[in-house]
Structure 1
Amino acid sequence: MKTKGQKTLILLALLIFMVGYSQIKVSGRVTHKSKGISEVNVSLKDTYDGATTDALGNFSFETSQKGNLKITFIHPKYQQVEKAITIDNQDVIVSTDLKEEISEIDAVVVSAGSIEASDRKRATALLTPIDIYTTAGADGQISSALTYLPGVQKVGESEGLFIRGGTGSESKIFMDGSLINNYFSNSVPGIAGRDQFNTSLFKGNIFSSGGYSALYGQALSGALMLESVDLPDQSSYDFGVSPIFLNAGFQKLGSNKNYSFGASAGYSLLSLMQNVFNFNTDFINAPQGFNGDFNVRFKTKSGGFFKYYGMYNSNTMGVRTESLEPDYDFGVIRLKGKNTYHNLSYRQKFGKYLLNVGGSYSYNRSDLNFSTETNNEESGKTRLLTEGNYFNFKTVLERKINRISAIRGGFELNNADENLNFGEVQKDYRDLISSAFVETDLGFSNALSAKIGLRAENSSYLGKSNIAPRFALAYRLNHRWTANVAYGLFYQNPESKYINGPANLGFQKSQHYIFQVLRSSEGRSLRFEAFYKKYDQLIKTFNIQPGKEQNQQVQTAFNNDGYGYAKGLEVFWRDNKKTFKNIDYWLTYSFLDSKRDFLNYPVSLKPGFAAEHTFSAVVKRFIPEWKLGANLSYTYAKGRPYYDIASEVQEGKAINYTRNEGRLKDYNTLNLSFNYLPNIGKKDAKAFPIFVLSISNILGSKNVYGYNFSVDGSRSSAVVPPINTFVFIGVFISFGVDKTEDAINNNL
């Protein structure tokens, strides 16, 4: 009996123990806007009991804990939630709805109309300096490399960024927020000027083909915002040599790495290449130029950053062309050009505020001398001399509202003082454009954000003001697809070169409508963009003849009755070494439908600088075992229209009319370049040379940019590139900087 009683007591004690420590089930569902969230960590605080939600947001676990406890819900993309629960002898059901965690990294970025390449955390790296240097046919120039992106037209006879049916002057280029006047070198009619700025000066860029920020103005079509480098990683010395130029430079980094300074100089001369290649252009004075620059950068004790950059450039050339007039054999143009540019910028943080102050000054002088030649004797000399002084000042104050929202505002001053002397046409043009702007970034969630801005301007020359609202919205459809829309109003003064007499003029105006769908994943990017641009109040001009012995004509503005439109669709695809090992490539297609009645056009016409269809392909292959980079690029553009437009006065009224018109042959060019680095792998080497071989238009396509016509319109001559196929060979040596990693990682 005693043994039976003991067994009964033990069994009773075991039952009591099991009841006291029985497992209670805790379950529920975690959602965000009624949709289940997977991978949420659910746990009882200060215990090891918990679970992770499934694909529908459901979770379930068992616990032996009792009493008043707290349960936590944790996910990196959502705000953490903590709830109080009571556990007794019954199962517990607890559910919650999480709010999205606002994150600067995960937040969607407004990108309609823009392509960005910089070192910013949220940037999409598309055209870094390495990209530009290794794009065959770009010649290391930023503006040339941009022609391989959607929206930019290839116009070889004139400098400038021709964006979506806009002229080269309707796009503007900025450095650290300040306007760059005369970004391109001086040149003669029919030959485009080159970039005057070294690509290595900039660490990134934001290129906008429409709908750009309210911080920038005086551009109807687009804007390129360049961001200069800060402090270099280490001191270095560079040297470059080729048959057409010599250059050298250095960057010195302070021992405490809070300041640096540097300088470079270069000289170029094309005469040697004239003896090797058959040029289309008869250079009686081979193009030559000298350039130099100097920079200083330093950090202040309060955490601010100061940058100065100064540049000087001079160039000369002489060109002889066969005359279209019966009175003489040749026309001769000689150029002497000078340009200097200085840029100051300063940024400083004050708690939640960021202050950016910048200013620039530039001076440009273009001295063109026209003459005629008969029996080797020159006569009929006429001089076109233009000089300009330009000042820009801009300040922007920004305040962060939260991680992805901010508000910024500021003002800008642009002052231009230009003089022109051309036969009977002489002028002194002065204008001060004062602007104020405000803009806000609104991050509603990681999937939805907006940019709203307003810009106001006043022109002292026009005596008029404008107000331009701008708006953009971005929404993430899923983790890879994003949709963007943008609208903006943009104003620009008439080009000063057309203001050669009294006229009641106003601002030119454009409206941008943009819709974009973007797919991004690691190493790949796909972009579709549709746009519509409406132009109003464009200037109309009339041709005048400045001198009795001079056939060159000057267009003079007389009203703002011009108008036009541009609409189209663009596709961009880039695959950066993701599908094919060590191969980076991108493809671009642009469709453009554009018409304008502006300048001396007699009616609404398709602009002579706009091709209806454009396709380009860029391929880069780096071969580590050969220490070699091979780069290929191809561009096709449907033939652009051309016009011979004349002017006359009938019954006291200016009349423009078309005498000749047609369409150019389709544009085709295939370019190839190689980069060879013999010192890869030698970590103790002191010098790192790069050998470059570049062949432009390797198939020798005879492209035509347009036609020149005689005064009476009965004779014409084609405007063609200075040379059909050009071969460049050069060596660039860096002392003190190991280029190995750049070569391996960036296809240099």
Structure 2
Amino acid sequence: MKTKGQRLFFLISFLVFALGYSQVKISGKVMFRNKGVKEVNITLKDTYDGATTDAEGNYLFETTERGNHSLVFTHPKYNDIERAVLIGDHDLLINAELKEQINEIDAVVISAGSIEASDKKRATALLTPIDIYTTAGADGQISSALNYLPGVQKVGETEGLFIRGGTGTESKIFMDGSLINNYFSSSVPGIAGRDRFNTSLFKGNIFSSGGYSALYGQALSGALMLESVDLPDQSSYDFGISPIFLSAGFQKLGEDKTHSYGATLGYSLLNLMEEVIHFNTDFIEAPKGLNGDFNFRVKTKSGGFFKYYGMFDSNKMGVKSESLEPDQYDFALVRLKGRNTYHNLSFKQKFGKYLLNTGASYSFNRSDLNFSTETNDIESEKTQLLTDGNYINFKAVLERKINKISALRGGFEFNNTQEKLHFENSDKNYKDLISSIFAETDLGFSNRFSAKLGVRVEHSTFLDKSNIAPRLALAYRLSKDWTTSLAYGLFYQNPESKYINGPSQLDFQKSQHYIFQLQRSSEGRSLRLEAFYKKYDQLIKVKNLANIEGQSQPIQTADNNDGYGYAKGIELFWRDKKTIENIDYWISYSFLDSKRDFMNYPMSLKPSFASEHTLSLVAKRFIPKLKLGVNLSYTYSKGRPYYDIVTESINDQYYIRKEGSLKDYSALNLSVNYLPNLGKKDAKAFTVFVLSISNVLGNKNIYGYNFSMDGTRSSAVVPPVNTFVFIGAFISFGVDKTQDAINNNL
């Protein structure tokens, strides 16, 4: 019995020894750029043997396998590595150096000077359509909502995007790649035109306050690229009603869900609000307008996509103001009749590895202004300033992906302008064809480092000159959440056509942009810091051509390109959707130091449209239990400079007769949105009731001054109304947008 026990013990010991002897240890270290990588899976292919690296990148496992095998290293952010190994009776040391896996999700994005909001960038989107609708004080207008972003100045007396020390005409707006020549409605001096385009038409936008892509040109300061919606999810009918407008529209989706069409019609009239609210502006004819649009979208069998959008609008208004020359007349009167139409057709199609994007647009714009004076209730003969403009734009871009994060694109663009102006007994015909070719490449060297190189070449038939504009941008990821970007660009723009009233030797206006950005993005939070410097050359200088009775600003004509200037500054943007439940807020601050010698400036001056300090705060709170969204916005800007610039009769030279600074601008705005059918999962209608109050505190802001001929009298340029109240309802049948409202913190 003892002998059998000894034999059994000996047999077990032998098996244990043999089994231990047969185990081979495989170990090593996995690194990327000389640093250990944790959580890398190491597997002996076609076996269950393997391990995972520790925090320093080390691994160790044992195997009983023998012979030729493959050792596989895998990690989601790196390319898989497969190493051939020969397993014998000795332990193995196998180190590995990983290569970064290049992909669009992890790759650093170049964003110096630009802010993107789209379906693709939903996680970091800054101005989606519902953001714009729910920003108090924006009135549902894209351009007004941009005033709450850094770099954009609040200039209330005229339309346009005033970006980083640039005029409103130095920024351009594009739809599906095509230039929109008349984005804003016609208006009278001292009152800004409104957006002509419905915000819900667009699914996303890229706003560039500098250093924008070589695919776009003719903008010294910045560009706004709008992308229209594709096929709707389902058919719907929409209605809007308020004391100042009525609107109705529909979108019909085909049964095969490959095509859709739709139309809207709207009418606006301010008469009723004039009776309720005290206006600063004396309207002899209250603003009114009629607008409509039509669209269709078709997806072809080969994967192509057609989009068409056409619109028209007409508007009228008349304004009466007290005379600054009481010894000549009592009142100055100006009447406007505006008419506009715009059509845009775009097509995109993939051909193998190539993507073709083409677009064409046509617009016609008429501005019919009539000036007169009134003395002792007798109106003088009217002076007409009539402008007709026809604009055609065509653009084609061909793009080829090089790899997952690199691409090459190029194309050409034509922008044709024909304008006719009639004033008293004189007529002007202006024609220009700007032809452009461009090329651009995205170079993704790694997920941490990327570059964008571009060049644009333009030729103007009116100027009979050409230009070459290089663009460069770099981006580097400092850590998981922190990135930095640099951008440089050279930008050209023709002198504004309204100042070309006679023969002169003119050239392109020119600006150079230098931008540095530091950004931190994490879930629900975004922080952006930007510093920029812009250098202006060849800006136009003007001289007086004629005066219109009753108007303080004479007609001016371009004289030369001797103007110059600069703009530099620092900007901060912080947005937080995470810290406080159901509250989304953002803060933006801009510091701007800018000077220019251009137009009729007698020397280098701070522009009258540029404020040194601008601060904006936007906050949105959604209360699910009350079905209520409450939105606040506040804007402050330091008072802009103003100048009374006149000419000496002897040598026709400009000089400053009076100058100063406006009072600081500030406005607190409130809007409330109520969703009565919130929570009804089977709801077939979506309704929003809106109450909006701009400038709740009634601050009496001033945009500038007009001066009499002798400079002894002046009148302030002020908003048409200090505080405006809007009440309206928007109803959609056939589609329930409630969840969208909740998800976007309406």
Whether TM-score is above 0.5 comes out as yes
Q: TM-score normalised to the size of structure 2?
A: 0.98
Structure 2 residue 697 is matched with structure 1 residue 699: yes
For residues 122 and 91 of structure 1, the distance between their equivalents in structure 2, rounded to whole angstroms, comes to 51
Q: CA deviation at 1:111?
A: 0.4
Deviation larger for 540-549 or 188-197: 540-549
Contact in 2 for aligned 1:545/1:552 (Cα 8 Å)? no
Residue of structure 2 equivalent to 1:416: 417
Structure 2 residue 714 is matched with structure 1 residue 713: no
| CA distances 1:54-103 after superposition (whole Å, capped 9, x unpaired) | 11111112222222221110001101001112222222111010000001
Structure 2 residue 609 is matched with structure 1 residue 609: yes
Residue of structure 1 equivalent to 2:275: 275
Residue of structure 2 equivalent to 1:15: 14
Residue of structure 2 equivalent to 1:36: 36
Structure 2 residue 114 is matched with structure 1 residue 114: yes
Residue of structure 1 equivalent to 2:665: 667
Structure 2 residue 193 is matched with structure 1 residue 161: no
Q: CA deviation at 1:609?
A: 0.3
1:52-451 equivalences under 5 Å are: 52-120=52-120, 124-325=124-325, 326-451=327-452
Q: CA deviation at 1:648?
A: 3.7
Structure 2 residue 494 is matched with structure 1 residue 493: yes
Contact in 1 for aligned 2:107/2:447 (Cα 8 Å)? yes
| CA distances 1:165-217 after superposition (whole Å, capped 9, x unpaired) | 00000000000000001100000000000000000000000000000000000
Residue of structure 2 equivalent to 1:729: 727
Distance 1:548 1:128, change over 3 A: closer
Q: CA deviation at 1:715?
A: 1.1
Q: Which amino acid aligns with 1:340?
A: T
SS of the counterpart of 1:223?
A: strand
For residues 221 and 685 of structure 1, the distance between their equivalents in structure 2, rounded to whole angstroms, comes to 46
Distance 1:547 1:702, change over 3 A: closer
SS of the counterpart of 1:356?
A: strand
SS of the counterpart of 2:276?
A: coil
For residues 342 and 360 of structure 1, the distance between their equivalents in structure 2, rounded to whole angstroms, comes to 5
Q: CA deviation at 1:18?
A: 2.9
Deviation larger for 4-13 or 481-490: 4-13
Deviation larger for 551-560 or 133-142: 551-560
Distance 1:448 1:548, change over 3 A: closer
Q: Which amino acid aligns with 1:189?
A: P
For residues 532 and 250 of structure 1, the distance between their equivalents in structure 2, rounded to whole angstroms, comes to 46
For residues 747 and 10 of structure 1, the distance between their equivalents in structure 2, rounded to whole angstroms, comes to 74
For residues 630 and 9 of structure 2, the distance between their equivalents in structure 1, rounded to whole angstroms, comes to 85
Residue of structure 2 equivalent to 1:457: 458
Q: Which amino acid aligns with 2:17?
A: M
Q: Which amino acid aligns with 1:11?
A: F
Q: Which amino acid aligns with 1:700?
A: G
SS of the counterpart of 2:653?
A: strand
For residues 375 and 425 of structure 2, the distance between their equivalents in structure 1, rounded to whole angstroms, comes to 25
Q: CA deviation at 1:545?
A: 1.6
SS of the counterpart of 1:365?
A: strand
Residue of structure 2 equivalent to 1:473: 474
Q: Which amino acid aligns with 1:279?
A: F
Q: CA deviation at 1:6?
A: 8.9
| CA distances 1:579-613 after superposition (whole Å, capped 9, x unpaired) | 00000000000000000000000000000000000
Q: Which amino acid aligns with 1:297?
A: R
SS of the counterpart of 1:131?
A: helix
For residues 676 and 553 of structure 2, the distance between their equivalents in structure 1, rounded to whole angstroms, comes to 53
Q: Which amino acid aligns with 1:412?
A: E
For residues 122 and 146 of structure 1, the distance between their equivalents in structure 2, rounded to whole angstroms, comes to 18
SS of the counterpart of 1:101?
A: coil
Q: CA deviation at 1:687?
A: 2.5
Deviation larger for 53-62 or 172-181: 53-62
Q: CA deviation at 1:421?
A: 1.2
Q: CA deviation at 1:16?
A: 5.9
| CA distances 1:464-508 after superposition (whole Å, capped 9, x unpaired) | 000000000000000100000000000000000000111100000
Contact in 2 for aligned 1:105/1:122 (Cα 8 Å)? no
Distance 1:51 1:659, change over 3 A: same
Contact in 2 for aligned 1:436/1:455 (Cα 8 Å)? yes
Residue of structure 1 equivalent to 2:593: 593
Contact in 2 for aligned 1:543/1:646 (Cα 8 Å)? no
Q: Which amino acid aligns with 2:394?
A: F
Q: CA deviation at 1:644?
A: 0.8
For residues 571 and 184 of structure 1, the distance between their equivalents in structure 2, rounded to whole angstroms, comes to 28
Q: How many residues align?
A: 744
Distance 1:658 1:424, change over 3 A: farther
SS of the counterpart of 1:144?
A: helix
Deviation larger for 669-678 or 542-551: 542-551
Residue of structure 1 equivalent to 2:535: 534
For residues 504 and 152 of structure 1, the distance between their equivalents in structure 2, rounded to whole angstroms, comes to 32
Q: Which amino acid aligns with 1:213?
A: S
Contact in 1 for aligned 2:112/2:516 (Cα 8 Å)? yes
Contact in 2 for aligned 1:117/1:123 (Cα 8 Å)? no
| CA distances 1:121-174 after superposition (whole Å, capped 9, x unpaired) | 587311000000000000000000000000000000000000000000000000
Residue of structure 2 equivalent to 1:581: 581
Q: CA deviation at 1:650?
A: 3.5
For residues 20 and 542 of structure 2, the distance between their equivalents in structure 1, rounded to whole angstroms, comes to 94
Contact in 1 for aligned 2:321/2:333 (Cα 8 Å)? yes
Contact in 1 for aligned 2:589/2:615 (Cα 8 Å)? yes
Contact in 2 for aligned 1:568/1:591 (Cα 8 Å)? yes
For residues 316 and 570 of structure 1, the distance between their equivalents in structure 2, rounded to whole angstroms, comes to 39
For residues 646 and 38 of structure 1, the distance between their equivalents in structure 2, rounded to whole angstroms, comes to 72
Q: TM-score normalised to the size of structure 1?
A: 0.98
Deviation larger for 732-741 or 634-643: 732-741
Distance 1:5 1:671, change over 3 A: closer
Residue ranges of structure 1 left out of the alignment (5+ in a row):
none
Contact in 1 for aligned 2:540/2:558 (Cα 8 Å)? yes
| CA distances 1:1-35 after superposition (whole Å, capped 9, x unpaired) | x9749945972685266325532221110001111
Residue ranges of structure 2 left out of the alignment (5+ in a row):
none
Residue of structure 2 equivalent to 1:558: 559
SS of the counterpart of 2:207?
A: strand
For residues 625 and 231 of structure 2, the distance between their equivalents in structure 1, rounded to whole angstroms, comes to 33
Q: CA deviation at 1:684?
A: 2.9
For residues 275 and 424 of structure 1, the distance between their equivalents in structure 2, rounded to whole angstroms, comes to 40
Contact in 1 for aligned 2:613/2:637 (Cα 8 Å)? yes
For residues 14 and 584 of structure 1, the distance between their equivalents in structure 2, rounded to whole angstroms, comes to 70
Contact in 1 for aligned 2:123/2:523 (Cα 8 Å)? no
Q: Which amino acid aligns with 1:31?
A: M
Contact in 2 for aligned 1:332/1:373 (Cα 8 Å)? yes
Contact in 2 for aligned 1:425/1:546 (Cα 8 Å)? no
Contact in 1 for aligned 2:286/2:318 (Cα 8 Å)? yes
For residues 4 and 481 of structure 1, the distance between their equivalents in structure 2, rounded to whole angstroms, comes to 74
Q: Which amino acid aligns with 1:743?
A: A
Residue of structure 2 equivalent to 1:742: 740
For residues 676 and 121 of structure 1, the distance between their equivalents in structure 2, rounded to whole angstroms, comes to 28
Contact in 2 for aligned 1:207/1:224 (Cα 8 Å)? yes
For residues 107 and 373 of structure 1, the distance between their equivalents in structure 2, rounded to whole angstroms, comes to 66
| CA distances 1:650-697 after superposition (whole Å, capped 9, x unpaired) | 45xx41111111000000000000000111122333322210000000
Q: CA deviation at 1:541?
A: 0.4
